[in-house]
Amino acid sequence: MNTRPSFARIPVYFFCMLMICKQHISNAQGQMPAHDSVSYAGEKHFNDIRQLTFGGDNAEAYFSFDSKWLVFQRTNPKLGIPCDQIFIGRVPAKSGEAFEPRMISSGKGRTTCGSFTKDGKHIIYASTHLASAECPPVPDRKKYGNKYIWPLFEGYDIFLSDLNGKIIKQLTNTPGYDAEATLSPDGKTMVFTSVRDGDLDLYLMDLKSGKTKRVTNTLGYDGGAWFSPDGKKLIWRASRPSTAADSAEYISLLKENLVAPTQMEVWIANADGSNAHQVTSFGQANWAPAYLSDSKTIIFASNHEYKRGFPFNLYTVDEQGNNLEKISASQVFDAFPMISPNGKKIVFCSNRNNGGTRDTNIFVADWIK
Query: What is residue 148's predicted lDDT score, i.e. its pLDDT?
Result: 85
Residue with the larger pLDDT of the pair 25 and 319: 319
Residue with the larger pLDDT of the pair 44 and 1: 44
Q: What is the DSSP letter of 150?
A: E
Query: What is residue 35's predicted lDDT score, i.e. its pLDDT?
Result: 59
Residue 252 confidence (pLDDT) above 90: yes
- Amino acid at the residue 187: G
Alpha carbon distance 1, 114 (integer Å): 9
Sign, CA dihedral 230-71-119-48, equals negative
Residue 272 confidence (pLDDT) above 70: yes
Residue 355 confidence (pLDDT) above 80: yes
Residue 8 confidence (pLDDT) above 80: no
For the chain, what is the mean pLDDT?
A: 91
Query: What is residue 146's predicted lDDT score, i.e. its pLDDT?
Result: 85
Residue 26 confidence (pLDDT) above 80: no
pLDDT band at 19 (very low <50, low <70, confident <90, very high): very low
Alpha carbon distance 40, 120 (integer Å): 34
pLDDT band at 13 (very low <50, low <70, confident <90, very high): very low
Distances (CA, A) of 72 to 47, 89, 222, 285: 22, 9, 21, 22
Q: What would the mean pLDDT of 239-250 be, rounded to a whole number? A: 96
**Least confident span in 12-16, 76-80, 232-236, 352-356:** 12-16
At residue 22, what are phi and psi to the nearest 5 degrees?
-90, 5
pLDDT band at 265 (very low <50, low <70, confident <90, very high): very high
pLDDT band at 17 (very low <50, low <70, confident <90, very high): very low
Q: What would the mean pLDDT of 142-156 be, rounded to a whole number? A: 92
CB 306 within 8 A of CB 318: no
Q: What would the mean pLDDT of 159-182 be, rounded to a whole number? A: 98
Alpha carbon distance 98, 61 (integer Å): 17
Q: What is the pLDDT of residues 46-80, one digit of tens each?
A: 999 999 999 999 999 999 999 999 999 999 999 99
Q: The whole model's pTM is what?
A: 0.91
H or E element: which one contains 167?
A: strand 167-170
Q: What is the pLDDT of residues 198-219, one digit of tens each?
A: 999 999 999 999 999 999 999 9
> What structural domains does the chain harbor?
12-367 (2.120.10.30)
Alpha carbon distance 191, 281 (integer Å): 24
Query: What is residue 100's predicted lDDT score, i.e. its pLDDT?
Result: 97
Query: What is residue 308's predicted lDDT score, i.e. its pLDDT?
Result: 87
Extended beta strands in 171-264, E state = 178-183, 189-194, 201-206, 212-214, 221-227, 233-239, 258-259
Residue 2 confidence (pLDDT) above 80: no
Residue 9 confidence (pLDDT) above 60: no
Query: What is residue 34's predicted lDDT score, i.e. its pLDDT?
Result: 54
From the list 236, 292, 228, the residue with the least C-alpha distance to 265 is: 236
Q: What is the DSSP letter of 333?
A: B
CB 356 within 8 A of CB 36: yes
pLDDT band at 167 (very low <50, low <70, confident <90, very high): very high
